[in-house]
Amino acid sequence: MRTVIRATLLCAVIAPLTGASAENLIGFDAAGSAAELTLEKRLDAGIDPAAMRTWLQDLAAAPNQVGSPHDHRNALAIRDLLASWGWDARIETFRVLYPTPVAERVELLAPTPHVAQLLEPPIPGDAGTAVPGALPAYNVYGADGDVTADVVYVNFGMVADYQELARRGVSVNGRIVLVRYGNGWRGLKVKLAQEHGALGCLIYSDPHEDGYAAGDPYPKGGWRPAEAIQRGSVADNTIYSGDPLTPGIGATASAARLAVKDAPTLMKIPVLPISWADAQPILAALEGQVVPSAWRGSLPLTYHFGPGPAKVHLLVQSEWGLKPVYDVIATLKGADFPDEWVIRGNHHDAWVEGAWDPLAGVVAQLAEARAIGNLLKSGWRPRRTLVYASWDGEEPGLVGSTEWAETHARELQSKAVLYLNSDENARGFLVARGSDSMQPC
């Protein structure tokens, strides 16, 4: 299994076991090492793969985006499981800005009409692709808008790409940009487009990076099929993460909020993600100079910059209301150092059902929590307080975890000693990543 782990350590250091045998753990004498290994074996014995599969099927039975009924239902289910294993479990609720699509359209008007399909069709044999309640393609925190303009292809839409466009005399001002996923954060792609005067932005997954050029598409393999769409947030998280309307404070019911028009992390132009099946007719309709080799994807066509004659109508209308996010927080009080918190996190919200991201990670976290609960029943107690968190609203921009951390900032500053976060699980090797805040430690 490959577990994607992000860890933020408050200037604490995890000593690696490199060069030490399992029988002589660093920091332990012989008796302590033996006791630690025995405890680990007891913990491992409590992991039940069959239970994990059952939880995964249950939690991924319906779409889990912020504000959806199943997202709330999953938070309740996770809380109840943790409580049944001896954890002090509760839900903390915040109210955050979360626009959901009401109407949207991507239509190639000229030279050959084509209407984009903004909801993936079911895949035969996979019931998970035909679940009602899924939202259509959207990039949360993009602006509403109704624009019609010529299209310019901008490669990955990074700074160097706009420099290349300028060198060749191609402007995106007053136009709609078509950009492919990869080589940078999608929010930066939209931000750069609007800074260069674009009226709108379309983001697609080229099969060169995520499709048949990389490997067999689903269901034969794990790569993106022709009509699949990559949803995602485009908020400018370089300014701040979390709820766009409550920077620096928890998004409680009584919190002071910015006006939507004044929130600096929100984009100013409409943006939608599309599949490569819908990007292909637009790319095929572009003329102008042929792009350099590094700009060419793997579609069977000649890639041109434009602008035009491809002309696209882009419409995005959203419901800009406050939605609840449900953070599940479970604690076990430490026996020796109750005011030192070891925090373990994973999120439970998803763009659609989320069976892989994040629920493959959620069920692993639940398995840990149940195994720890089994140890608890035998009389064992953790030395430090354990805090297990199942965040909501991670996908739109670390929303649930940010609002909780802002609300509990003083406690965290005095008590948190380590935070370990995982996301999805997959086959392969363990990959651990740390926060940049660890560098001065």
The residue among 319, 334, 361 that closes a domain is 319
Q: Is pLDDT of 328 > 50?
A: yes
Band of pLDDT at residue 441, cut at 50, 70 and 90: low
Sign of CA dihedral 73, 77, 78, 83: positive
d(CA 10, CA 121): 45
> Does 67 map to a domain?
yes
Q: Are residues 243 and 257 part of one domain?
A: yes
Contact 365, 74 (CB under 8 A): no
C-alpha to C-alpha distance for 371 and 47, rounded to whole angstroms: 6
Same domain, 281 and 334: no
Identify whether 408 is part of a domain: yes
* Same-domain check for residues 251 and 145: yes
170 and 281, same domain (yes or no): yes
Residue 423's domain is classified under what CATH number?
3.40.630.10
Average pLDDT estimate for 33-52: 92
Q: Tens digits of per-residue pLDDT, 118-174?
A: 999 999 988 888 888 899 999 999 999 999 999 999 999 999 999 999 999 999 999
Average pLDDT of the residues of the chain:
92
- In tens, the pLDDT along 399-414 reads 999 999 999 999 999 9
**pLDDT above 50 for 57:** yes
Residue range 321-347: mean pLDDT, rounded: 97
For the entire predicted model, the pTM comes to 0.90
For residue 14, is pLDDT > 60?
no
- Calpha distance 8→389 (Å, rounded): 14
- Given 287, 319, 351, the domain boundary residue is 319
Whether 356 contacts 424, CB under 8 Å: yes
**22 contact partners, CB below 8 Å, separation of at least 6:** 37
Tell me whether residue 37 is in a domain.
no
Residue 23 domain-assigned (yes or no): no
Tokens matching residue 238:
């370089």
Do 252 and 335 reside in the same domain of the chain?
A: no
Q: Number of folded domains in the chain?
A: 2
Q: Tell whether 38 is covered by a domain.
A: no
* Per-residue pLDDT tens over the stretch 413-433: 999 999 999 898 877 777 777
How much is the pLDDT for 428? 76
Residue 11 has pLDDT above 50, yes or no: no
Question: Could you tell me if 247 and 382 lie in one domain?
Answer: no
Q: What are phi and psi of 21, to 5 degrees?
A: -80, 160
Do the beta carbons of residue 421 and residue 5 sit within 8 Å?
A: yes
Q: Clarify whether residues 156 and 258 are in a common domain.
A: yes
Same domain for 106 and 93, yes or no, is no
Per-residue model confidence (pLDDT) at position 127: 85
Distance of CA 125 to the CA centre of its chain: 27
End-of-domain residue from the set 292, 319, 346: 319
Residue 87: inside a domain: yes
Phi and psi angles of residue 125, each rounded to the nearest 5 degrees, phi first:
90, -5
Domain that residue 382 falls in: 2-16+44-97+324-438
**Is the Cβ–Cβ distance between 223 and 217 less than 8 Å?**
yes
Q: What share of the chain is helix, strand, coil (3-state, %, to 5)?
A: 30, 25, 45
Residues 88 and 221 both lie in one domain = no
* Pair 346, 430 in one domain: yes
Region 212-240: what's the mean pLDDT? 96
**Encoded amino acid at 262, one letter:** D
| Whether residue 239 sits in one domain with residue 198 | yes
Mean pLDDT of 374-382: 94
Predicted pLDDT of residue 23: 57
3-state secondary structure of 44: helix
Would you place residue 28 in the very low, low, confident or very high pLDDT band (cuts 50, 70, 90)?
confident
Retrieve residue 133's tokens. Answer: 């309640």
Q: Which amino acid is at 147?
A: V
Residue 173 lies in a domain: yes
Burial 337-365 (b: 16+ CB within 10 A, else e): eeeebbbbbbbbbbbbbbbbbbbbbbbbb
Same domain, 383 and 403: yes
CATH number for the domain spanning 171: value is: 3.50.30.30
Residue 336 domain flag: yes
CB 388 within 8 A of CB 371: no
Helix (H, G, I), strand (E, B) or coil at 49: helix
Cβ pair 327, 392 in contact under 8 A = yes
